[in-house]
Amino acid sequence: MFRILDKLSAALARITGWAVVALTVVLVASLTASIIFRYLVGRALSWPEEVSLMIFAWLTLLSGSLGVRENFHVRLTLLLDRLPEGLARWLERAITASVAFFGLVLAVTGYDLLERTTGHLTPTLRLSLDLVTWSAPVCGALVFIHALARLLPAKTAEVRS
């Protein structure tokens, strides 16, 4: 069971990593088009800002979920560094459990938001707002899965790829 969860987390992290790269390329292309048209062509485009904001929401949350998987999220370790090893390990697990709970809350409330805003459109492109709203439940679920995988017993945690 634990190995399956860890393998699922690893596979989702690989997919997420590729999605982050692809979205970054699209974001840079969108911003570049905006700059070229505004300053070289002399005619501002209306869509790049909206597309960039939508992509940025996904990038932020997807990268955050990867931070949970790879433990590279921003955090202060001042207290953890000063505690005895056993207590620090216990506190680290409690923090990871809190992150898992946050992911679950984000997934549930994000889905609730999605249900309440279905049918709403973005102002400029008239795209479904669901395109950006889906980022909350999807990334919340990813955070939850990755945090659960981090909570595995030490024996199975070493199997991580």
Confidence of residue 156 (pLDDT cuts 50, 70, 90): very low
Determine how many CB atoms are found less than 10 A away from the CB of residue 39: 9
Q: With a cut of 60, say whether residue 30 has pLDDT above it.
A: yes
- Region 23-51: mean pLDDT is 93
Pick the residue with more confidence: 72 or 128? 128
Q: Which among 122, 12, 123 is positioned nearest to 62, based on CA atoms? A: 12
Number of domains in the chain: 1
- The range of the structural domain enclosing residue 117 comes to 2-157
**Alpha-helical regions (H) of 2-157:** 2-35, 47-70, 78-82, 85-117, 130-133, 135-150, 154-157
Q: With a cut of 70, say whether residue 155 has pLDDT above it.
A: no
Q: With a cut of 70, say whether residue 154 has pLDDT above it.
A: no
Pick the residue with more confidence: 80 or 41? 41
Q: What is the pLDDT of residue 75?
A: 72
Percent of the chain with pLDDT over 70: 94
Decide: 8 and 158 in contact? Cβ < 8 Å: no
Q: Which two tokens stand for residue 33?
A: 């088009």
Q: Any idea of the CA torsion for 107, 112, 18, 123, to the nearest 10 degrees? A: -150
| pLDDT tens-digit readout, 113-125 | 999 999 999 888 9
- Region 130-148: mean pLDDT is 96
